[in-house]
Amino acid sequence: MSSITGIPENSPHILVLGMGGTIAGLAFNPEDSPLQYQAGQVGVEALVGHIQSAVPEGVKLVSYQLANINSRNLTDAHLTALGTAVKEALLDPVVKGVVITHGTDTIEETGLFLQATCGKLAQTQAKRVILTGAMLPSNAPGADGPSNLLDALRWASTAIDNCPGGIYAVMDGRGCMAMDLAKRHATALNAPLQNSPSSSVGLINPSWLSGVKAVQAAWNEDLPIPQENEWPWVEILTSHAGARAETVAQWLKSDVRGLVVAGSGLGGLHDAWVEPLDKAMAQGIALVRTTRTGAGRILPNIPEADASGCRAASALTAPRARIALQLALNAAKQANLAGKPLTWQDFFARIADLPEIR
């Protein structure tokens, strides 16, 4: 029995973990204004009950509500609970796969987090963990949640064209590695997959699959899941016209452990930030540089060479780079306590330098 969920189920099943989101949302007046709604209102058991009759025969589902939130309010503690539950499920022989219903606002963070902490385990246990959500609340006409959930359950429970165990996401009839998911549109039904390399659910194309295998071959070891109180404080700052030195300088007086700076274009930062960021690095604050454009690879010597306390984020977007930096700072701390002289940059590189799927 899992210590997180306490589910006393001994027959093979797919575990459905509910986190909330629009997929569990209710609109006040669904016919006239479906986007005026509250996320995280319907329990995961009801969501599963709604599509139960369409689930492939012989697939047993067990649901558990880990949270029922609007994912814009996702906390470190939620990630600790989710990562721990997923890890336990992957190690539990009666759990054959995991589906997670989640809000799409921060599904990008959760996707990267699960890959970095559970990706290797999912691969070696040959189980699929599938994140899904919805763009329309559950009572809206044409709600997309039921079909997304059904696709996720099918993908988690059936052998599809050799697709290996791993951490994936499904939206709008397509699947991708969860670490590639990024919401890049406010309302479109495929918003979380707009710029993600993906493949049709049930019809996975060979080039996508070889990309997945290349990522998995490069991913050697999962990073530890920080305990609730272990997550290092990391903030995102965005460079912009009219940026002021004070925006950075105020962090020098705080306990912040890392800053992700989203530069313009190639990841360049406003000149006003150079001096306070140098001070931040001298103070031991970890710096990661990415781009506010939302896509593209950031390199260490472009547009200018990085100082040694600053790491280019490679293809990680700012929200992903923030999670990666938190995990890397925590992993380095644990390694140092165990007498291994590894730095946060060593761990960050493992996540940032994975092959890109195109």
In angstroms, give the least distance from the CB of 237 to ligand ASP.
23
Catalytic site residue from 101, 104, 110, 291:
104
175 contacts ligand ASP (rule: CB under 6 A): no
d(CA 276, CA 249): 5
290 contacts ligand ASP (rule: CB under 6 A): no
**Which listed range, 4-12, 18-26, 53-61, 166-174, lies at the site for ligand ASP (CB under 6 A)?**
18-26
d(CA 264, CA 278): 19
22 contacts ligand ASP (rule: CB under 6 A): yes
**104 an active-site residue?**
yes
Interface residue with ligand ASP among 30, 119, 133, 263 (CB under 6 A) is 133
**290 an active-site residue?**
no
Q: Is the peptide bond before 34 cis (omega within 30 degrees of 0)?
A: no
139 contacts ligand ASP (rule: CB under 6 A): no
What is the DSSP annotation of 307-351? PTTEEE-BT--HHHHHHHHHHHHHHHHHHHHTT----HHHHHHHH
Interface residue with ligand ASP among 17, 39, 260, 313 (CB under 6 A) is 39
Annotated binding site for substrate: 71, 104-105
Interface residue with ligand ASP among 92, 105, 180, 306 (CB under 6 A) is 105
21 contacts ligand ASP (rule: CB under 6 A): yes
Phi, psi of 191 (to 5 degrees): -50, -45
In angstroms, give the least distance from the CB of 291 to ligand ASP.
23
Pick the closer one to ligand ASP by CB: 25 or 166: 25
d(CA 97, CA 154): 10
Helix axes 107-124, 318-337, angle to 10 degrees: 50
DSSP H or E stretch at residue 151: helix 145-157
Q: What 3-state DSSP class applies to 80?
A: helix
State how far the alpha carbon of 79 is from the alpha carbons of 165, 249, 307, 325, in Å: 21, 30, 31, 15
Pick the closer one to ligand ASP by CB: 133 or 258: 133
What residue is closest to ligand ASP based on CB?
Answer: 103
Q: How many residues bind ligand ASP (CB under 6 A)?
A: 12
Pick the closer one to ligand ASP by CB: 105 or 222: 105
**Which listed range, 98-106, 151-159, 171-179, 304-312, lies at the site for ligand ASP (CB under 6 A)?**
98-106
Annotated binding site: 71, 104-105
d(CA 151, CA 106): 20
Exposed/middle/buried for residue 222 (C-beta within 10 Å: 0-12, 13-18, 19+): buried
Reported residue count of the chain is: 358
Pick the closer one to ligand ASP by CB: 105 or 306: 105
In angstroms, give the least distance from the CB of 61 to ligand ASP.
21
Exposed/middle/buried for residue 285 (C-beta within 10 Å: 0-12, 13-18, 19+): buried
In angstroms, give the least distance from the CB of 190 to ligand ASP.
12
Pick the closer one to ligand ASP by CB: 70 or 84: 70
d(CA 270, CA 238): 10
104 contacts ligand ASP (rule: CB under 6 A): yes
- Give the binding site for ligand ASP (CB under 6 A): 20-22, 39, 70-72, 103-105, 133, 135
Q: Give catalytic residue positions.
A: 22, 104
